[in-house]
Amino acid sequence: MTNKEILQNVIRKAIKNGYKMFVYSFSIVVDTFLSIYHEKRELRNINEIIFDIEFLKAYFGEKTDTLKSGADPIWQYHAKKLSILTNYERIKYLESWL
């Protein structure tokens, strides 16, 4: 899958799980900044979305998994993992959770 296809699938999964940023449509522009346009025609950098708490909760869930993350909710565990990666490593990480 291309980075664009991965991001489309990642966002679709988050929407299916209740993420409300993209109610009607979105398109992804894969450039240096990995930009995303949504129905309001606002341009967002992928990191603004990936680190949005509501996105993280929708994508990874809100359950606390003591086996993997101690007392942190699972979305916080993944946010910490994502924070140390490059943009393209983040895409691959998110892909692994599709």
pTM for the model stands at 0.77
Return the structure tokens found at 29.
């522009």
Mean pLDDT of 25-29: 63
Q: What residues contact residue 28 under an 8 Å CB cut-off, 6+ apart?
A: 4, 7, 8, 11, 34, 35, 36, 37
- Report the percentage of the chain scoring pLDDT > 70: 69
- Which residue has tokens 């990874």? 60
Instruction: Give the pLDDT of residue 41.
Output: 58
| Cβ-contact 51, 24 below 8 angstroms | no
Closest CA to 72 of 91, 52, 81: 81
Q: What is the pLDDT of residue 94?
A: 96
Q: What is the pLDDT of residues 47-76, one digit of tens each?
A: 888 899 999 999 999 877 655 555 678 899
Residue 15 carries which side chain, given as an amino acid letter?
I
